[in-house]
Chains A and B, each alone.
Chain A
């Protein structure tokens, strides 16, 4: 298990390149989740409270988009951002921004679909109350989002999990460039292909530990919020 030890040593000694990789992974995943939340929460809330023809179809498509294949999204973003593609002049291919875009597209449907379900359930519960108060639609959305905030935290975690675990799309649009677009997942893929399986596994353990730690922090926030609200 020499490689596993190597991974642990890198952690304990504060290896600069490992920390840069961890930092980039977190930055990209969290940015993607923030963007996905900015798009997904309002859309999910709107969909929960509005009735229109074809709404069922929209919900079905939205729910299905939770399972968008990352490689396909990666390829689509790649073709968009390539110099020969429609957005080529932006020069974003093989940059962290391109990775954020791809991950945001993967995470947004998860956030929107789960938020829609959460808010709709709450809405059915509090509908009479909110209508009796004569709240405007915007106030209703605000009240429901606030009431659902602890559940929505879990929704964000689901989105973060998707983003942090992503490898196919970020490999294609980021290029796994050393010191620039290399994330935990692409580093693990690279070490696997170099045949250094113990080091790959060690990095995997580090990634899992980080994800668990973040979930721990969020759980703490949730419990604190519940006690305060409680």
Chain B
């Protein structure tokens, strides 16, 4: 009987073993759906690996969820885009230091037919007020992501209490950027997207950029090492090596070089300490 049990244990081990040799030189980076869906990581990570031999495993989640993953110690580095949430994360002692990496901007996407009549305007706050007044369909991420945080901040600036004032026109889908764009495309609604995901998104349908260029649509990305004092499992040296590379001239150039159809998706700004 014992032999049989040993045999079974051996079999179980054998089935698990093929995937078991974990690469030593690898880190887990909790990041956002925008960096993954836009294809940025597919462009820069091979460059980083060629230089350092470090494998970066990206788990793409909304910013809120990515920070929670890091809080539990399940990631070595977080690379997200919601400064207020990142500063809270640092204040709680979960992060070591925040480094600004790059920026792009948010855009308001809407159907070509433009039922709210906001296309081509430059004032995002006025546009949101109009959408609300006309009860035009609006898709919200509703997932505590960086883009969702930005959207909520803009409703606040527009002096609209969206939690209270939302009607059936306001659809919270609780999913990633791509899913939100798919939803907006199929129901002819407005949606706030980061420009990177929008440029790389392939199911645009009748959607176009309705509002862009307002400085309140600025979208900053930051990177932090998870605090090894909170979670001893954090791979401190490898994680820091990734951060150092991202903010180095070489990493910054790799980010700037990522283009789709000639359009640059992200603008490096690690040299701006206030970002």
Q: Which residues of B sit under 8 angstroms from A34, Cβ to Cβ?
A: 11-12, 15
Q: Which residues of B sit under 8 angstroms from A176, Cβ to Cβ?
A: 59-60
Are B28 and A195 in contact, CB atoms less than 8 angstroms apart?
no
Kindly state whether residue A223 has any CB partner on chain B within 8 Å: no
Are B57 and A192 in contact, CB atoms less than 8 angstroms apart?
no
Interface flags for A1-40 (1: CB within 8 Å of B; 0: not) read 0010000000000000000000010011011001100100
Kindly state whether residue B22 has any CB partner on chain A within 8 Å: yes
Are A193 and B74 in contact, CB atoms less than 8 angstroms apart?
no
Q: Which residues of A sit under 8 angstroms from B37, Cβ to Cβ?
A: 190, 193-194
Q: Which residues of A sit under 8 angstroms from B175, Cβ to Cβ?
A: 193
Kindly state whether residue A175 has any CB partner on chain B within 8 Å: yes
For A83, give its contact among B22, B59, B200, B233 (CB under 8 Å).
B233
Q: Which residues of B sit under 8 angstroms from A194, Cβ to Cβ?
A: 37, 178, 200-202
Interface residues on A, range: 35 or more
Are A175 and B57 in contact, CB atoms less than 8 angstroms apart?
yes
For A84, give its contact among B16, B73, B178, B179 (CB under 8 Å).
B73
Kindly state whether residue A82 has any CB partner on chain B within 8 Å: yes
B43-78 contacts to A (CB < 8 Å): 57-60, 71-74
Interface flags for B1-30 (1: CB within 8 Å of A; 0: not) read 000000010011001101110100000100
In the complex, how many residue pairs between chain A and chain B have their CB atoms under 8 Å apart? 94
Kindly state whether residue B33 has any CB partner on chain A within 8 Å: yes
For A88, give its contact among B36, B73, B181 (CB under 8 Å).
B73
Kindly state whether residue B110 has any CB partner on chain A within 8 Å: no
For B182, give its contact among A38, A84, A193 (CB under 8 Å).
A193
Are A97 and B19 in contact, CB atoms less than 8 angstroms apart?
yes
Interface flags for A178-197 (1: CB within 8 Å of B; 0: not) read 10110000000010111111
CA distance A30 to B28 in the complex (A): 26
- Which of A34, A82, A193 has most chain B Cβ within 10 Å? A193
Are A178 and B19 in contact, CB atoms less than 8 angstroms apart?
no
A141 to chain B, nearest CB (A): 13
A-B contact pairs, 18 of them (CB 8 A): A38-B11, A84-B71, A84-B74, A93-B74, A94-B59, A97-B19, A100-B19, A177-B28, A177-B57, A190-B36, A192-B182, A193-B33, A193-B37, A194-B37, A194-B178, A194-B202, A196-B202, A197-B203
10 smallest CB-CB distances across A and B, nearest first, come from A193-B178, A83-B73, A195-B203, A96-B19, A175-B59, A31-B15, A195-B202, A84-B72, A195-B201, A177-B57
The chain A residues found within 8 Å of chain B, CB to CB, are 3, 24, 27-28, 30-31, 34-35, 38, 82-85, 88-89, 91, 93-97, 100, 175-178, 180-181, 190, 192-197
